[in-house]
Amino acid sequence: MKYTLAKLAEHVAGEVKGDASCEIESVATLKHANATQISFLTNPSYRKQLATSKAGAVIMSASDAEDSPVNAIISNNPYAAYAKIAALLSPAEQYEAGIDPSAHVAKDTSISDTASIAAGAVIESGVTLADGVRVGPGCVIQKNVKIGADTILTANVTVVHDCEIGERNIFHPGVVIGADGFGQAMDDGQWIKVPQLGRVIIGNDVEIGANTTIDRGAIEDTIIEDNVKLDNQIQIAHNVKIGAHTAIASSSAIAGSTTIGKHCKIAGMVGIVGHLQIADNVTVTGKSMVSSSIKKAGVYSSGTPLDNNAQWRKNTVRFKHLDDIAKRLNKLEKQLAGNNNSGKE
């Protein structure tokens, strides 16, 4: 399907600079786009590609559009505008409602006539699937799970018993919702399992990346609020609460009973220990270790930056002596203060 630049600009509340009648069919990068494609510019390091781009149009800010050699859609948020236009030009695949003959569906379920259940799926007793829910191949939905309208389980997703899922969510392949949390008690030198009796409650417009796991609560529920975005291979432990509009990047792990506020950004490979409180609007940079609560909004980091190996080894040795150095420095400061005071007498 083709759209004129005028229609695309209207779709994203943008402004056209250039030929508003130019027709666009698809999206592409600045470097490889042709005259029927649209691209975007947000990173200054790619600005040099704009001069030679063959794109039919580029989505960009007003300042970048001043000397643009190609048609432009001017937006205050070019990347968000690109996302909306890309979705319009590449609509999601449509699936027919109905249940594949190879799926196993318990008799006492409540499944909308507009839901789609693919080959090899298993739907257990007491499950409720609302309008437009899509259950992909190999998915398992255990007893008494409730899934809201237009939620998509792509493939091989498991939702364990009694969990509740809201509307318009997307779960990518291998996601596991509601597996037991890591609850173990020591008894006479042996670990014994602590029953995990809570659920996972997920709000609306949540997206969860491939092979991410969210454990059920030990007693109370694990809660993921509206519009949370989780990348691939993330571990969310039991009784964690993640506030609305928070995004977490790949390979991060959050230990049990930690609460993360709204509008937070957690970068990749971040570790967050249990029983912490993290305020709204907190950003944690990549590979950081969060070992205490964060009470104020802001950007937080830990870890050591990459260095050549020889210098890194030296600094690692020096790090082990920091406590001794601090004590010696404190002692010297006291001596200097004493000398200064004696000189005034």
Active site residue 238: yes
**d(Cα 193, Cα 187) in Å, to the nearest integer?**
10
Partners of 272 in beta bridges: 254, 290
For residues 306-332, b (16+ Cβ closer than 10 Å) or e, as one string? Answer: eeeeeeeeeeeeeeeeeeeeeeeeeee
Report yes or no: 133 and 157 within 8 Å, Cβ to Cβ: no
* Sole residue written with tokens 């230990």: 255
Report yes or no: 207 and 184 within 8 Å, Cβ to Cβ: no
For residues 51-72, b (16+ Cβ closer than 10 Å) or e, as one string? Answer: eebebbbbbbeeebbeebebbb
In DSSP notation, 227-291 reads T-EE-SS-EE-TT-EE-TT-EE-TT-EE-TT-EE-TT-EE-TT-EE-SS-EE-TTEEE-TT-EE-
| Contacts for 13 with CB less than 8 Å, ≥ 6 apart | 75
Residue among 32, 161, 238, 275 flagged as catalytic:
238
Q: Which alpha helices (H) appear in the chain, and where do they start and end?
A: 5-11, 47-50, 62-65, 78-89, 309-319, 322-344
What is the total residue count of the chain?
345
* Residue 58 C-alpha from the chain's centroid: 27
Report yes or no: 182 and 165 within 8 Å, Cβ to Cβ: no
Write out the catalytic residue numbers.
Answer: 238
